Amino acid sequence: MSDNLKESINLDRLPEHIAVIMDGNGRWAKKKGMPRVFGHRSGVKAVREITEAAAEIGVKYLTLYAFSTENWNRPALEVDALMTLLVKTIKEEVKTLNKNNIRLEAIGDLSRLPEKSHMALKEAIKDTSSNTRMTLILALNYSSRWEIVNSTKQIAEAVKSGKMEIEDINAETFSAHLATAKIPDPELLIRTSGEKRISNYLLWQLAYTELHFLDLFWPDFRKQHLYESILDFQNRERRFGKTSEQLT
Ligand code: IPE
Ligand code: IPE
Ligand code: MG
């Protein structure tokens, strides 16, 4: 079943960058009568599945929303558990990332992560930095409004110190100041859990992204769901403001 789906994908029209909102861990656990943290732990398997499937098929960038700046407002026990899980998972996965030639990157206000998490992350980024098949980007302590405000400050600073002219501020130079400066905009966004919102994720970068919402909780996400999402993407007509007739 999943092999059939995979073979139906047109490899010449793959999204180069897929962004994902991994949502529904808590509800998945609750449905099973388990604590929310159990859902987060179970979500790691889905992270492995999507990373492996995306790399295998030839996707170049995969960005996963792992922790938003708003997620600090959750109960302290859950936040602690998420940070512990992060360190543990990153340390365990470096070997597999290297084996699969996958480079790890991160976007977000990383300096505000607990020291242990920040160190583990920095080390994994360094240890995988020469890998070339795919870049896996973790959005950690990330929010789009934080990112946009941060870029605006940098640009204002550059103008103030005379390194940049106001006339030089345009969509291109603005993009170059975002955390995703060296990464192309995502062509496809996938969100699980049935929720249909963006939750402060890549607001600038998603301007023309195709959105795909899935009615399943993140821990149930498997390779076939990635294939389904890509096939749906390939059936969309991306017009970028033009008319349908202009595209042919
Ligand atoms: C996504 O699942 C993981 C994080 C936000 C860290 P949730 O924890 O949001 O699970 P739900 O949406 O409450 O079910
Ligand atoms: C978005 O999920 C953030 C992550 C997946 C890390 P949330 O569960 O925090 O989003 P809302 O609260 O439902 O919008
Ligand atoms: Mg959620």
Query: Going by CA atoms, what residue is nearest to atom 9 of ligand 2?
Result: 71
- H-run or E-run covering 211: strand 210-213
* Per-residue model confidence (pLDDT) at position 1: 63
Catalytic residue among 3, 10, 25, 71: 71
Rounded Cα distance, 12 and 112, in Å: 40
Active site residue 141: no
- In three-state secondary structure terms, 29 is helix
pLDDT tens for the chain, 248 residues long, are 678 999 999 999 999 999 999 999 999 999 999 999 999 999 999 999 999 999 999 999 999 999 999 999 999 999 999 999 999 999 999 999 999 999 999 999 999 999 999 999 999 999 999 999 999 999 999 999 999 999 999 999 999 999 999 999 999 999 999 999 999 999 999 999 999 999 999 999 999 999 999 999 999 999 999 999 999 999 999 999 999 999 98
Please give the CATH superfamily to which domain 2-143+185-235 belongs: Decaprenyl diphosphate synthase-like (3.40.1180.10)
Of 27, 74, 80, 220, which is best to mutate to test ligand 1, by the most ligand atoms within 8 angstroms of its C-beta? 27
Q: Tell me, using a 6 A CB cutoff, whether residue 98 lines ligand 1.
A: no
* Per-residue model confidence (pLDDT) at position 3: 80
Of 140, 193, 198, 214, which is best to mutate to test ligand 1, by the most ligand atoms within 8 angstroms of its C-beta? 193
Phi and psi based region of residue 110 (left: phi greater than 0; alpha: psi -120 to 50; beta: remaining): alpha
* Per-residue model confidence (pLDDT) at position 69: 98
Rounded Cα distance, 168 and 162, in Å: 12
* Per-residue model confidence (pLDDT) at position 222: 98
Residue 235: exposure state from Cβ atoms within 10 A (0-12, 13-18, ≥19): exposed
* Per-residue model confidence (pLDDT) at position 76: 98
* Per-residue model confidence (pLDDT) at position 6: 97
Active site residue 23: yes
> What spacing in Å lies between the alpha carbon of 241 and ligand 2's midpoint?
30
The domains of the chain are located at 2-143+185-235
Rounded Cα distance, 52 and 97, in Å: 9
116 HSE (CA, 13 A, CB side): 10
